[in-house]
């Protein structure tokens, strides 16, 4: 399908109608990190659970200077009405207000520009709907992460939060986070891991880094093996 973004690409500075009014994307992001995520249709069960979880996690994203913004091929009016269902699903007052805006892309202009359409899933007019796409942008407006799920599969927003923590850490420090890496939400500390990961140096200052899951890798010239390198 036409359109799409690659890692390192700058976010297009589009204008769009949303549930909080008309926005220009770069102005909306400001100096924050940003997550733009699309869903297939309003008033559908899986999408309701997804945006409900995103709303629940919104304070955690806000703590990390991350702005959320959703998108689908539905109208602002539909978004506002559906927001009541999302809040009710979360056990909150069924109002039209969510902790993030939703973009009206009923003409599919942005979905085409950003490569978000799922050709296998279509609406009542046989038009393709948006897939479950996640774009994470850094404060420099460049794409740091992209995830593309088909319309039939719901996402894990706790995993998206985990990935954002990793992106922010690795943007600040020359480190790489290993499999299943997590930060304790309550303290902000990296939990120690039992034993040493395979390949960790047997002793020295790097052992502590490995136990924290903060190993930095350095490749030898000419494609040689990876080696640990101190910070």
Taking only the tens place, the pLDDT of each residue in 44-60 is: 999 999 999 999 999 99
Q: Same domain for 85 and 193? A: no
Tell me whether residue 47 is one of the annotated catalytic residues: yes
Domain hosting 57: range is 15-171
Separation between Cα atoms, residue 136 and residue 109, nearest integer Å: 20
Q: Same domain for 220 and 118? A: no
Tell me if 5 is assigned to some domain: no
- pTM over 0.75? The answer is yes
Tell me if 216 is assigned to some domain: yes
Beta partners for residue 136, in sequence order: 35, 145
Cα distances from 22 to residues 4, 18, 72, 89, 103, in angstroms, run: 23, 6, 15, 27, 9
Q: Same domain for 212 and 130? A: no
The CA-CA-CA angle for residues 141, 145, 148, to 5°, reads: 120
Query: Which listed residue (47, 105, 118, 215) is catalytic?
Result: 47
Tell me if 4 is assigned to some domain: no
Print pLDDT tens along the chain (231 aa).
446 899 999 999 999 999 999 999 999 999 999 999 999 999 999 999 999 999 999 999 999 999 999 999 999 999 999 999 999 999 999 999 999 999 999 999 999 999 999 999 999 999 999 999 999 999 999 999 999 999 999 999 999 999 999 999 999 999 999 999 987 644 344 444 444 445 454 444 444 444 444 444 433 344 444 443 333
Q: Where are the beta strands (DSSP E) in 6-107?
A: 15-18, 21-24, 33-38, 66-72, 102-104
Q: Same domain for 53 and 115? A: yes
Six token digits for residue 163: 């990935």
Label the pairing between strands 66-72 and 33-38: parallel
Q: Give me the number of domains the chain comprises.
A: 2
- CATH number, domain with residue 50: 3.40.30.10
Query: Which listed residue (9, 92, 140, 200) is catalytic?
Result: 140
Which of these three, 156, 171, 186, is where a domain ends? 171
């Amino acid at each position: 399908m036409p359109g799409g973004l690659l890692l390192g690409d700058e976010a297009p500075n589009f204008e769009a109608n949303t549930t909080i009014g008309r926005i220009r994307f770069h102005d909306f992001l400001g100096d924050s990190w940003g997550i733009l995520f699309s869903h297939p249709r309003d008033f559908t069960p899986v999408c309701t659970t997804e945006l409900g979880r995103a709303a629940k996690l919104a304070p955690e994203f806000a703590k990390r200077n991350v702005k959320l913004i959703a998108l689908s091929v539905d109208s602002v009016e539909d978004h506002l009405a559906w927001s009541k269902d999302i809040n009710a699903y979360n056990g909150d007052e069924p109002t039209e207000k969510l902790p993030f805006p939703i973009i009206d892309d009923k003409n599919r202009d942005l979905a085409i520009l950003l490569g978000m359409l799922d050709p296998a899933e279509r609406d009542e007019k046989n038009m393709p709907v948006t897939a479950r796409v996640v774009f994470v942008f850094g404060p420099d407006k460049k794409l740091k992460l992209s995830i593309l799920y088909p319309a039939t599969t719901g996402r894990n927003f706790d995993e998206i939060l985990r990935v954002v923590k990793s992106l922010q850490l690795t943007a600040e420090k020359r480190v790489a986070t290993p499999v299943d890496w997590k930060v304790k939400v309550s303290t902000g500390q990296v939990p120690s891991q039992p034993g040493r990961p395979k390949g960790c140096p047997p002793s020295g200052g790097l052992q502590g880094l490995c136990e924290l899951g903060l190993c930095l890798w350095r490749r030898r010239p000419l494609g040689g093996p990876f080696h640990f390198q101190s910070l």
